[in-house]
Amino acid sequence: MLLREVEYARPASVDEAIRFLAANDGARALAGGQTLINVMKARVASPDVLVDLWGLEELRGIRLADGGLELGAMVTYSQLMTSSEVATARPILAEVAGQIADVQVRNRGTIGGNVCSNDPTNHLPPLLVALDARFTIAGAGGERTVSAEEFFVGVYMTAVGTGELLTRIAIPPGSRDGFAAVTIGKDGTCIVSAAASLDGEGGPRIAIGCVDAVPVLVRDVGEVAGAVTMPPSDVHASAEYRMHLAQVLAARAVQQAKGRTAA
């Protein structure tokens, strides 16, 4: 498919990337391209400028910090799957990354791209809400850090504004986590997903994906029915069935989390 004409820049640093993003309202960050390039083919997105982050090593780090993880926005799913730091501090991330699409997509797709595209069917938004991740966003005026609840704003919308860039994601340590989804084919697009974490400082966190514009956060499986109000209906599942799946998958995710040894 021939894409609409577009300009391309390969910045040498995060600062330069932010400058390119701020210079043109039609500029978009290109992470792994596993969503953006396809939606450009369909003309659903038509950016004027692509700012390619692939070469920015400063966005690729995986570090242990305060027992938890600090992940660069350009860490790929394949990196999550093979990282010893991830295996130590938050193994659920590797497990879920391994359920996204296929080898080729996992080699290019990134954690930052997954959350910034914020498609309600993506795996990582509900997972990162359950894990109580914090997101650092850089712009011309400096950095700010927001919670997962603040980060996911709406369908395809996040707290990252024009001229800004998600640079890293901090994830607290923990091991009693679970993830369950009903997907279109093995490792395919989620119809409903649920992530649970029992290790949070504020008690259990359960986040349901695909049932609203942003992941729905509850503290107990019993709250799911009341919190999921109007899930979408489509060719894959009716609203009623999604409501049913939300409750079943939340229970499965919690069950899985309970079966794991505390760190």
Positions in the binding site for another protein (CB under 8 A): 1-12, 16, 20, 24, 27, 33-34, 37-38, 41, 49-52, 54, 101-105, 107-108, 186-187
How does 229-244 read in b/e, with b if 16+ C-beta sit within 10 Å? eebeeeebbeeeebbe
Name the residue nearer to another protein (CB basis): 18 or 128. Answer: 18
Residue number, 50 or 253, with CB nearest to another protein:
50
Burial of 154 by CB count in 10 Å (0-12 exposed, 13-18 middle, 19+ buried)?
A: exposed
CA 150 to CA 133: how far, in whole Å?
11
Q: 3-state SS of the chain: helix, strand, coil percent to 5?
A: 35, 25, 40
To the nearest whole angstrom, how small is the minimum distance from the Cβ of residue 106 to another protein? 9
Min dist CB 75 to another protein, Å, is 14
Of 37 and 159, CB closest to another protein: 37
Return the structure tokens found at 96: 């879920």
User: What is the closest distance, in whole angstroms, from the C-beta atom of residue 128 to another protein in the complex?
Assistant: 23
Q: How far is the CB of 207 from another protein (least distance, A)?
A: 26
Q: Is the CB of 41 or the CB of 258 nearer to another protein?
A: 41
